[in-house]
Chains A and B, each alone.
Chain A
């Protein structure tokens, strides 16, 4: 078990990922210059998919999911999937920074080729479309730190939770994304497009990251705009159980403790 001080530190790391320490340093103030630069980058790099006006309707946007989810995010009024904040909240700047840096497997490239300053500039620009960013101050959840490591009993308990919490209904008995709700085609995203329940045996395709901390974040925040709910309430005060579920999901791909 870690010290309380460490806990806080660990929680911060989860939220910000690797980039935080250096990234913060170069984050420019949101002023006219930043927005102008952000716009230039956006129109060269992002508008193909997200559209010149940020409405997710760029000329290449339809091809990505074709008739199924996802369409590129509409920055004007959509919510966000990949957050460290509670269900229904906007993402933090760090969350946006992470998405742009890591990309989204299958559908959006990683933009490590933009330097950090450029990534911040483009973030300022895309936020400027949605006035909710001015009205709300998204705050990250507090994430419980990890116990020493997965145990066999913990994984068993995780399996029990997986069934009890109905994950299998969407993700299937063995996590392969073939639960009854998914195969019946009932799952839809915010654009009313059919969406697959993620295959939990293939971490390389997870949008929110595949480390145990990433998984924990996914379970606590849910993916807004999709049927994947937040389970933060469920585990209130039962952090151990949450980690058990995380270990179990990782065990589906033989990567527990990653």
Chain B
């Protein structure tokens, strides 16, 4: 996620961290990232939809796709039978959930080259005691049959920001069961992808960037294949885009509209969408819209097994800028990607490969970086009661600023991480203490 900072707008992006997170282990505050509201609404345990919250199992995926309605049904109408005047606090609670996220104890271990020219870096071993850093408030559910909504307000102490993270409305089952589902608003396009960017960590270990010098101090744990990859790209307001920020099809949130459906049955899904792109929050400088399309093939018909294969193409249109010396110039930043996922019983394996290309780079800037980059991420998870272990492995291959000594163009970077998090398997609470449900042990 890019950090707007006026002072940083024209400072050259310098990388000070090279061998980044070599191991990250987070003992997390019990922060099951399921949406407790859904579990309450249907009186079900989180495990019915989640492998390890926020990751979804096959049932949870179809619930999400159906606009927060039970797969195979259109149950939004059930909740809408109430008149507005009859709504009770409980109804509100059935649609709302809060979550606190943060690490009680977090330890990093990374090598920092500082100043960047130094030959060998110094190893930093940090252990910090934390305080819940991120508070999010969700309201999600179905307003009436086939109309769903999702909003997430987030207050992030680490990034000292508060705002709408995501907010969208869904219109489902238009033209027949699962023929077309529309999503409008600020959303994550990859939500239904085989390797959905947002759900790939139990505990957000965000990147850390010095906004006054545009230096990356720690890479976040977003899958590297989904990251921006390039050094030297800026958004339209001139702010540097971190090479670790999830972007394009894999953005955490972009404003736009999409249509998605499975018109021929469960085995095939299509998705087409249009976004403001340009890595902006609300509002659009409207230089051009970005378009994306994706297909997904599913198999879920044999014992304890499901698998999927997805592919997408994302075509940017003046969605980033580069410095030319004389000023900023627009470029078109595209991405193509494929992902696959297999699940047997409770073992999950995911993989994603992406290829980024930048078109229309002015000749003056061409010397500074490659116009293509690629990324690969592989992850697997396996619940051991009561913890879930997730392993991630990824690399990015992309441009480095030419003026940074010791770094080759097209250098590789690898992040390996093992995360452990609590499994949300709490039993339902008696009505009086319902709000604590799914909040871990």
Contact = CB atoms under 8 A, between A and B. Distances in A.
Interface of A: 41, 43-49, 51-53, 55, 57-67, 103, 105-114, 201-202, 204-205, 253
A204 B43 contact: yes
B148 to A, nearest CB: 14
Interface string B105-135: 0000000000000000000000000000000
Contacts of A47: 300-301
6 contacts: A49-B59, A57-B304, A64-B45, A103-B44, A108-B44, A111-B73
Q: Is the interface of B mostly helix, strand, loop or mixed?
A: loop
A109 B63 CA distance: 12
Contacts of A105: 43-44, 428
B359 interface: no
B48 A60 contact: yes
Interface in B250-295: 266
Interface string B45-87: 1011111000001111010000001111111011000000000
B326 interface: no
Nearest to B66: A44
A114 B439 CA distance: 31
A246 B123 CA distance: 66
Contact of A106 (B43, B50, B71): B43
Given A59-B304, A60-B48, A205-B427, A48 B385 contact: no
A204 B48 contact: no
B141 to A, nearest CB: 14
B166 interface: no
B70 A111 contact: yes
Contact of B44 (A41, A46, A59, A109): A109
B300 A109 contact: no
Q: Assign chain B's interface to a size class.
A: 35 or more
Contact of B45 (A59, A103, A107): A107
Contacts of A59: 57-59, 300, 304-306, 343
A61 B75 CA distance: 21
A114 B73 contact: yes
A50 B90 CA distance: 31
Given A48-B58, A52-B302, A106-B45, A62 B346 contact: yes
B345 A45 contact: no
Interface string B405-441: 0000000000000000001010111110000000000
Given A52-B302, A62-B346, A63-B50, A45 B45 contact: no
A186 B258 CA distance: 53
Contacts of B431: 204
A113 B73 CA distance: 6
Contacts of B47: 63-66
B48 A64 contact: yes
A106 B305 CA distance: 22
B303 A57 contact: yes
A52 B303 CA distance: 8
B304 A61 contact: yes
A106 B427 contact: yes
A67 B385 contact: yes
A224 to B, nearest CB: 22
Given A59-B57, A63-B346, A52 B304 contact: no
A48 B71 contact: yes
Given A64-B48, A113-B78, A204 B430 contact: yes
Nearest to B70: A109
Nearest to B48: A64
Contact of B301 (A52, A109, A110, A114): A52
**Which residue, B70, B177, B385, has most C-beta atoms of chain A within 10 A?**
B70
B345 A62 contact: yes
B385 to A, nearest CB: 6
A31 to B, nearest CB: 22
Contacts of A67: 385
A106 B428 contact: yes
B303 A51 contact: yes
Contacts of B49: 60
Given A59-B343, A64-B47, 18 more contacts: A44-B266, A45-B71, A59-B306, A60-B57, A60-B58, A63-B47, A65-B47, A66-B47, A66-B385, A66-B425, A105-B44, A106-B427, A106-B428, A109-B70, A110-B42, A113-B77, A113-B78, A202-B428
Interface in B213-271: 266
B206 interface: no
Contacts of A45: 70-73
Contacts of B12: none
A41 B43 CA distance: 22
Contacts of B77: 113
